[in-house]
């Protein structure tokens, strides 16, 4: 029976540790599966453009920050229930999200773009996409775009992670995928992206990425002020250049 006792002790210990106290420092969430914006590096730490920006902002605000990982699907619900105080996870500012949370000014801009296997033509007009199987990550702007604009012509496949989209693209299950241009740029330039290319031009370029905070949180003004400062003093540019050879603001 000894292992019952141990399991019990374990369960009780774990339960006690869940009553985490809210500390004074700011907790910032990111996803960790959206390279090069946020990912887990070889040391097992969260890294990427989002993380660098978050750290730069915290340095400007002179507050202690803790970056935590959170699955994308639970991001906004967890923010609302104070699991953390801000989301710096390449989250687009959308009307639907604005009903739930507030956003700071944008800290970069993105667009959507189709991609598919090299050498296989993919006409990205609505007529050309008829009957194609197109994938995207669930609960992303790309996924919403598919559902809102192309639901009547394409066969939509929604995945839990962007990685799963790439996996099925390589498996040949998808004729194409729709994704944010910048992370896709990173993937296509890496080893795994060999044999795939962008199809058509970027669109929905008005995609502004901001930091999500709870409604009426005073953090919004602090973040905005700090954003202005890192834009002005060249910190932003330096971080940008680390990841992309062109400005993404």
Residue ranges binding another protein (CB under 8 A)? 3-4, 6-8, 10-11, 14-15, 17-22, 69, 71, 73-74, 76-78, 80-83, 96, 100, 135, 138-139, 143-144, 157-160, 163, 167-168, 170-173, 192
Answer left, alpha or beta for residue 103, where phi above 0 means left and psi between -120 and 50 means alpha.
beta
Report angle CA 137, 140, 144 to the nearest 5 degrees: 100
24 vs 125 by CB, closer to another protein: 24
Closest approach of Cβ 63 to another protein, in Å? 18
56 vs 141 by CB, closer to another protein: 141
Q: Are 188 and 197 in contact (CB under 8 A)?
A: yes
Q: What is the dihedral of CA 123, 148, 30, 241, to 10 degrees?
A: 40
Closest approach of Cβ 202 to another protein, in Å? 23
Closest approach of Cβ 28 to another protein, in Å? 15
18 vs 125 by CB, closer to another protein: 18
Q: Are 31 and 69 in contact (CB under 8 A)?
A: yes
Alpha helices of 70-198 — where are they, by DSSP H?
75-80, 95-98, 141-149, 162-171, 181-189
59 vs 133 by CB, closer to another protein: 133
80 vs 120 by CB, closer to another protein: 80
Helices (H) and strands (E) in the chain, counts: 9, 11
Closest approach of Cβ 33 to another protein, in Å? 9
The three-state secondary structure class of 146 is helix
Closest approach of Cβ 24 to another protein, in Å? 13
């Amino acid at each position: 029976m000894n292992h019952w006792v141990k399991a019990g002790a374990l369960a009780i210990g774990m339960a006690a540790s869940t009553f985490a106290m809210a500390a004074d420092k700011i907790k910032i969430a990111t996803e960790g599966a959206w390279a090069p914006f946020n990912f887990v590096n070889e040391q097992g730490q969260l890294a990427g453009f989002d993380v660098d920006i978050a750290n730069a902002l915290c340095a400007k605000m002179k507050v202690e920050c803790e970056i935590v990982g959170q699955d994308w699907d639970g991001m906004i619900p967890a923010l609302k229930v104070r699991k953390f105080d801000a989301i710096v996870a390449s989250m687009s500012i959308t009307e639907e999200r604005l009903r739930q949370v507030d956003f700071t000014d944008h800290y970069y801009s993105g667009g959507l773009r189709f991609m598919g296997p090299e050498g296989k033509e993919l006409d990205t007009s609505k007529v050309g996409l008829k009957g194609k199987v197109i994938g995207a990550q669930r609960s992303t702007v790309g996924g919403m775009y598919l559902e809102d604009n192309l639901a009547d012509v394409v066969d939509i496949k929604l995945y839990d992670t962007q990685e799963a989209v790439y996996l099925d693209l390589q498996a040949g299950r998808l004729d194409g995928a729709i994704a944010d241009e910048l992370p896709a740029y990173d993937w296509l330039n890496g080893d795994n992206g060999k044999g795939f290319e962008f199809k058509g031009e970027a669109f929905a370029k008005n995609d502004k990425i901001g930091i999500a905070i709870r409604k009426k949180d005073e953090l919004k003004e602090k973040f905005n002020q700090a954003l202005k400062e890192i834009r002005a003093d060249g910190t932003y540019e330096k971080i940008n250049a680390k990841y992309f050879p062109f400005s993404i603001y």
